[in-house]
A and B are shown apart, each in its own frame.
Chain A
Amino acid sequence: EPEVTQTPSHQVTQMGQEVILRCVPISNHLYFYWYRQILGQKVEFLVSFYNNEISEKSEIFDDQFSVERPDGSNFTLKIRSTKLEDSAMYFCASSSGQGAHNSPLHFGNGTRLTVT
């Protein structure tokens, strides 16, 4: 069964550095998302992406964050000037052409980001 893949599985970075988290969504999906889960807390929506542009972003997704689909297969999340509170598990997800209102989201296994 097709799956969403994320790399790396674990990323350690120093405060103030920039990180890029990478995702390969399911190939025929058209909607892409990033979520995060701080340890012990709920999974939180960051951003949705469709037709090469952001559909919606949460309050968390400020100017520190950006997303890009640089080619036909990858979907990236860039975090600039990382802070300690950015430490979390970051999940990429995708859904089919019907979108999340009508079809389930498929999640990757996540990238654990640790900011020291």
Chain B
Amino acid sequence: KQEVTQIPAALSVPEGENLVLNCSFTDSAIYNLQWFRQDPGKGLTSLLLIQSSQREQTSGRLNASLDKSSGRSTLYIAASQPGDSATYLCAVIYYGGSQGNLIFGKGTKLSVKP
């Protein structure tokens, strides 16, 4: 079964720390991998999209990497801030998946303490 797993489920860090969130997927045959942020009671905000042919994407303090051979992606957040507190979701579209059939992980709930 094609799945996405995220570890850890929750993470608490002091402000200013650099941190890494992990995502693993069961099949290397993917179109792309996306990282989202979800605030409590809110929708999902797209952070980064990495195409199957790419190794990484960067946006501001965020850097996402993709290693298809090992079925892993990491989201690196530099100099974390309290405003980064949210749940971070990883999602992939597997080959054979239709447009928009994203398979989501359960997320990592991040808390950045001032």
A45 touches B99 (CB 8 A): no
Contacts of B42 in A (CB 8 A): 109-110
Kindly state the interface size class of chain B when it binds its partner: 20 to 34
Question: B43: which A residues are within 8 A, CB to CB?
Answer: 4, 6, 91, 107-110
Cβ of B69 within 8 Å of any chain A Cβ, yes or no, is no
5 nearest CB pairs, A to B: A56-B98, A104-B46, A48-B100, A107-B44, A109-B43
Task: Report yes or no: A100 in contact with B93, Cβ–Cβ below 8 A.
Answer: yes
Interface residues of A: mostly helix, strand, loop or mixed? Answer: strand
Complex Cα–Cα for A4 and B98 (A):
21
Tally of chain A residues near chain B (CB < 8 A):
31
Task: Show the binding face of A for B, using Cβ within 8 Å.
Answer: 4, 6, 31, 33, 35, 41-45, 48, 50, 55-56, 58, 91, 93, 95, 99-110, 112
Closest residue on chain A to residue B98 by CB atoms: A56
7 contacts across the A-B interface (CB closer than 8 A): A31-B100, A45-B103, A56-B99, A99-B99, A100-B93, A101-B93, A101-B99
Whether B34 sits at the interface, judged by CB under 8 Å, is: yes
